[in-house]
A and B are shown apart, each in its own frame.
Chain A
Amino acid sequence: GEDVEQSLFLSVREGDSSVINCTYTDSSSTYLYWYKQEPGAGLQLLTYIFSNMDMKQDQRLTVLLNKKDKHLSLRIADTQTGDSAIYFCAESSSLGTGGFKTIFGAGTRLFVKA
């Protein structure tokens, strides 16, 4: 079945850039997402990219999509201690019956050292 994989941990120093990587298997993905989960809270959508795009930038966030390799990355520039959280990659695709499904990765825990 379809799968989304991410590394479990990433540690960076404050001020450095963070790059969180994700690979997925479903070639019919239409949208790919990055969600952020802070301690004690639910997941919040950070950003998303449509599958016909290869890059999207939003302030400190840059999303890169390599559709050929089914690889998605999230770059956080000038990482701050407030960016410490779990980051989930997710992909959604149409089921062809008018419905769609979304699959989440296991999440990457980002630690930012002051």
Chain B
Amino acid sequence: DARVTQTPRHKVTEMGQEVTMRCQPILGHNTVFWYRQTMMQGLELLAYFRNRAPLDDSGMPKDRFSAEMPDATLATLKIQPSEPRDSAVYFCASAKGDRGKETQYFGPGTRLLVL
């Protein structure tokens, strides 16, 4: 049963620290998304990659956030330095990108709390 995995599942850190979240997309999926979910803002698209190339990161605060795909099996989202307002659940999703039918498969999320 193929699924998207994310690590860590939970992270508590202090303001100013670096946070790195990792995602392993489903094998064979060529599109990876990073979302942030909060009660106030709902689900926000931060960035997405196709064939490891970043296509859109307009939803991401550029000064502190960065997203990369070092290889086809790993996507990372880094926050440096972290701030309390970054506290949220961060989801990774992957898709096969099949002619517009973009069913996204979501990971379980990383719950981040910045104190």
Contact = CB atoms under 8 A, between A and B. Distances in A.
Contacts of B50: 99
Given A42-B108, A99-B50, A107 B42 contact: yes
Q: How large is the interface on A (under 10, 10 to 19, 20 to 34, 35 or more residues)?
A: 20 to 34
Interface majority SS on A: helix, strand, loop or mixed? strand
Interface in B40-58: 42-43, 45, 50, 55
Contact of A102 (B55, B102, B107): B102
Given A42-B91, A106-B43, A100 B103 contact: no
Interface in A69-86: none
A88 interface: yes
A42 B109 contact: yes
Interface string B76-104: 00000000000000010100010111111
Interface of B: 4, 42-43, 45, 50, 55, 91, 93, 97, 99-109
26 contacts: A30-B101, A31-B101, A31-B102, A35-B106, A41-B108, A42-B4, A42-B91, A42-B93, A42-B106, A43-B93, A43-B104, A43-B106, A45-B103, A45-B104, A45-B105, A48-B101, A88-B43, A92-B100, A92-B101, A94-B99, A94-B100, A99-B50, A102-B102, A102-B104, A104-B43, A107-B43
